[in-house]
Each structure stands twice: as structure tokens, then as C-alpha cells.
Structure 1
């Protein structure tokens, strides 16, 4: 397979865990357009929307993209904390598509198929990447249920955390880790060398409005029904961010950057550091801690890879190229 970046590269098989807000959907759209990404399954979780809404939206997107053969797995409905989840229609819209609506309703269908995660990992036999861009509840559950099988996953990419950087739901905590800190801590404890894309870098994954306008024109000229979703969703998403931060250029597409990083690791600066997640209640709940001290001996936490910088020009140019494919 020829890569969009030049040269030959085999596609990465990706099992996608998402909570189906706007940035999840944009990431999955990119995955469908990119010939270097092979989405082999989708785990639809609570988070930005409810689990049922996430399932409905995953089915709708698969219908539009003619990828109905990709299995959808019903993930977690609530965090391991036992709390009722909080949803974010003001950021992502009622159905996760911003101002757009669809009529897919899967409430009468069977999506309690978590065992399929195990089957897919075995099927792809050390050639599978998990990308988790929502709460980590389902991923943590998989580690509890299938610890040996989870060792067959080639690599895990997670959008979450904020290291030496402000949070987005509290002064120090990012939403995915804060929403289920037990799950985030469990994954960071049991998984080996997770690649973490924190707010430090994802906050800069902004597609300029004029580029979105150009893409929208391209999709309309080519009657691309999937592509036509992009502009209204990102406009809605950006309007929320501008209410809080008027000077921001656009809404950061956090989850897109994480999935993009799977096939573009050479354009990302990664450091290996000991990582711990605070799961106790209180002001520090959900805080992600990494030991960045310049010492020879660091804290005795599990070692993971943290993205600290990415090549924005490569990211933007690749996104535009892939999304016009």
C-alpha cells in the first residue's frame, strides 16, 4: 500500500474506543479516509454522550461511509467510580454531531458484545493497535477480564491527561482521566508503554477555519455526504471554545491528533517517563503525574510514552491531503 506521505507502508489495524463527541467523529472520519489506517472495530462508550447515543452515532457513521461490516461493540455505560456520567451537549451536540441530527436508533438491537474485543485481539495476533480517545472504562475492563489476551495488543494510544499543564475540567485534570480516574490509573498500571497524547499537545491540533471552508467546498463540489458533516460540526465545536477563550483560532481536535499519531510517530516527539494517575477524591482527582526530573533514578511508577510536541505543518498538510482522498 502506498502511503500518503510517500513510500510503502502496511496499514495499521486499529480497534477504536470512543465516546463519540465531535473530535471522536472527526478522528474516525480521518481513519476511514486514510489508507494507512484499517479500522477493524469500534467500541462505543459513554462520555461526551451516553453509551446508547454513541452506539447510534457509530452505526450512522458506518452507514454513511459504507463500512457497515465493521463491528460495533457496546462499551461501558458508566465509570468504575459508580457515579452517573455527565454529558456535554454544549460542546458536542445532543448526538455528538454538533448541530446535526440523525434518526438511527439501536435501542432494540443487541450490542452487549464485549467478548468481541477479545476475539478481535486474538484474530489480529500481535498486529493490532488500540486507540482510546474517550473515558478509559472499557479499556480498563478489558485488562481486568482478559489480562493475557491484552498482552497480544501491539500498541495502545490514549488521548488523556495534562502534564505540567492546565486541565480542561479542573485546574489540573483532563476530562478523560477525570471522568473515570480509577480506570485511567488501572490502565496505566497494567498496560505496558502506553503512548499518551495529553492536552499539552492536543490543544494545538487546530484546523484553521479557512482550511475547513476549502474542504467543505471540495466536498460539495464532489457531493461527498460524509465530508459535508465536517464544517457544521467543527463550526459548532469552535463556537464553544471561543466562548471560553475568544482568542483561540479554532476548536482543538484532540482525538484526531491521537489517531493521526499512530501512523506518524516520526513527526511526534515522545518521551518515556514514569506516570501515575490520582484517583482519590478531592482537588487532585484525575491529575496525571509524570516524573520529568533530570535525575538518574525517577519515581517508581510504570513507564509510558508521552507526546510533548508534534510537527504541526506535517499534521495539517497530511490531514488536508487525506481528507481529499
Structure 2
């Protein structure tokens, strides 16, 4: 049976790879896409999602407009130096506002047999949880976010959680069954330029790869952070997981957005379904092989 998913998408390159992979994967059934602010502004994320779905011949998949700024009320910061000026690498499209469903219209689609794939800031997801909390008990959520060690947006914080730590804390304590894919694991989800050249997505990848290579010339390829949770939906055997109670620093100090859990010797696993399941290890070769197989179709 194909796994039903709703994908929360914030308009960047690795999001685009994840959307393309999810739609092309014969084992996944994408029921809807939410365009959120994050790597790009909300309206560009919506437009990018709809453009990608047109390229895939899947305009039947509905797109919903999520939140435009975080629960903290701040003006979001975007990342064109990483994802290209419009979030699609070298591809630039007309700056038009696409029509999309309202966020609340997504609610009937949230059923126990649907998995949420959260690839950006968790603001829209947290908003739905605040409004309809009981509906989320036990719902499976696969989310890219967090850093246990070295961060990317700061020394200790990963960008998705840092962008709205209040929303992330709410999601992790909502009663949903959350699997979190932190930075040290997603950094292993690497696609090389040679691999991507065998797919239709080279134009998206090129500036994204240049950015990562400029930061660390030792890298063989670019980490596809948001692609890893999509891969994990059908390839649990390629990852190792642990379960911990996770807290997030929500204060606006130096440690804002830091994810904290107990990894001291003798620390106990949180009993399921309490706590957060953390992806902790990845067989990178299995990831790359499967992703290429799907993207080449």
C-alpha cells in the first residue's frame, strides 16, 4: 500500500528535490503540499510548488498557502545565496502570485493514515495544532530540523528550528509522533554533481552545490537535508533511530533554537510514543542509490 503524505515545503532546492522524489516515488502518495515561508517567502514557495507539480504532470495535487512569518512575529530572513534568487537554483520564473488553498482547508486531509512531511519552519504545522490540538494525537510527523552538536545558522542551532523555535517546541510537545532528522544526519545525505547530472534537476543543484563547496571544499557533493525524511518514509532499514525527550531554547539569546536532549552514558530511551524519535545514523550509499533510481524515472 502506498504511504499517504502531506508535504510542508518552504521553496528551496533541497525541498524541490524532496517534492520531486516524493511525487515520483511509486511507494508514496502525495495528497497535498503546503507552501511556507522559510528558504523563500511564502508566495514564492507556493509558486515553486505549483511549478514543480506542473513539470511532473501532477497539477491534480492541491497546494495550500501556509504562514508568511514565524510565531515570534519577526520578519523572516531568506537564503538566495544558497538556493538561488527564487529558490530553484539557476531557474528563474515570472514573479507571479499563484492561487492556493487556505491553510484551514487542509484540515479534513489530516487523518490517522496520513504522514506529515515537514521540511521547513514548523509555523504552519504549529498553527494547525493550536487550533485543532486533539486531531494531532499520534499523527506521524517526519521533520527535518535540529542540531545536536554543531549548527548551521549559529554555532548550536539549525535553520528550521532557529527560524521559529516557539513553533518547533509546540510541535515536539503536541502529542504527535514526531521523527526528527537533525543536521548531523542530513549532512550525510549527499548527492554528488555526477549523480545529479543523471537526473532532470541539474539546474536546481548547481548553485546549491557551489555554495556548499565554497564553505567546505572537502565535500564530495551537496547534502540534501530535506530529501532525507522523504527517503526515510519507505527506507527505515537504512537509518538508525533513538528516542529522547527533546527541548528547544526559545529565548532570543546566543543559544536560541538549540535542541537539547540527554545523551550522557546511561541516559534512557524515552518510552514510545512519548519523546521524539531521532534519526541518528544513515547508510549514505543506500540513500544515494535509491534517490537516483527514483529521480531518473
* TM-score of the superposed pair, with normalisation by structure 1: 0.87
1:18-42 deviation line (CA, Å, top 9, x unaligned): 1010000001011111101111000
Residue 185 in structure 1 maps to residue 169 in structure 2: yes
Shift of 1:112: 5.3
The equivalent of 1:6 in structure 2 is none
Shift of 1:298: 7.9
Shift of 1:101: 1.2
Residue 157 in structure 1 maps to residue 142 in structure 2: yes
Higher alpha-carbon deviation: 306-315 or 176-185: 306-315
Distance of 2:294 and 2:47 partners within structure 1 = 26
Residue 239 in structure 1 maps to residue 239 in structure 2: no
Go from structure 1 to structure 2 and tell me whether the alpha carbon gap of 1:152 and 1:276 turns closer, same or farther (over 3 Å shift).
closer
The equivalent of 1:309 in structure 2 is 281
Distance of 1:138 and 1:75 partners within structure 2 = 6
Distance of 1:22 and 1:297 partners within structure 2 = 37
Largest Rg, 1 or 2? 1
The equivalent of 2:293 in structure 1 is 321
Uncovered stretches (5+) of structure 1, i.e. residues with no partner: 1-9, 217-226
The equivalent of 1:91 in structure 2 is 82
Q: Secondary structure at the match of 1:271?
A: strand
CA contact (8 A) 1:291 1:298 kept: no
Q: How many corresponding residue pairs?
A: 295
CA contact (8 A) 2:89 2:208 kept: yes
Q: Secondary structure at the match of 2:150?
A: coil
Residue 171 in structure 1 maps to residue 144 in structure 2: no
Residue 255 in structure 1 maps to residue 226 in structure 2: yes
Equivalence map 1:1-325=2 (5 Å):
10-103=1-94, 105-106=96-97, 109=99, 111=100, 113-121=102-110, 125-151=111-137, 153=139, 155-163=140-148, 165-213=149-197, 215-216=198-199, 227=200, 230-295=201-266, 303-325=275-297
Q: Secondary structure at the match of 2:190?
A: coil
Shift of 1:294: 3.1
Shift of 1:304: 0.8
1:168-198 deviation line (CA, Å, top 9, x unaligned): 0000000000000100111111133310000
CA contact (8 A) 1:60 1:104 kept: no
Q: Secondary structure at the match of 2:107?
A: helix
Distance of 1:64 and 1:112 partners within structure 2 = 20
Distance of 1:260 and 1:299 partners within structure 2 = 25
CA contact (8 A) 2:37 2:68 kept: yes
The equivalent of 1:220 in structure 2 is none
Shift of 1:105: 2.1
1:261-297 deviation line (CA, Å, top 9, x unaligned): 1111121100011111110110110000111123366
Distance of 1:104 and 1:65 partners within structure 2 = 20
* TM-score of the superposed pair, with normalisation by structure 2: 0.95
Q: Secondary structure at the match of 2:177?
A: coil
Higher alpha-carbon deviation: 71-80 or 244-253: 244-253
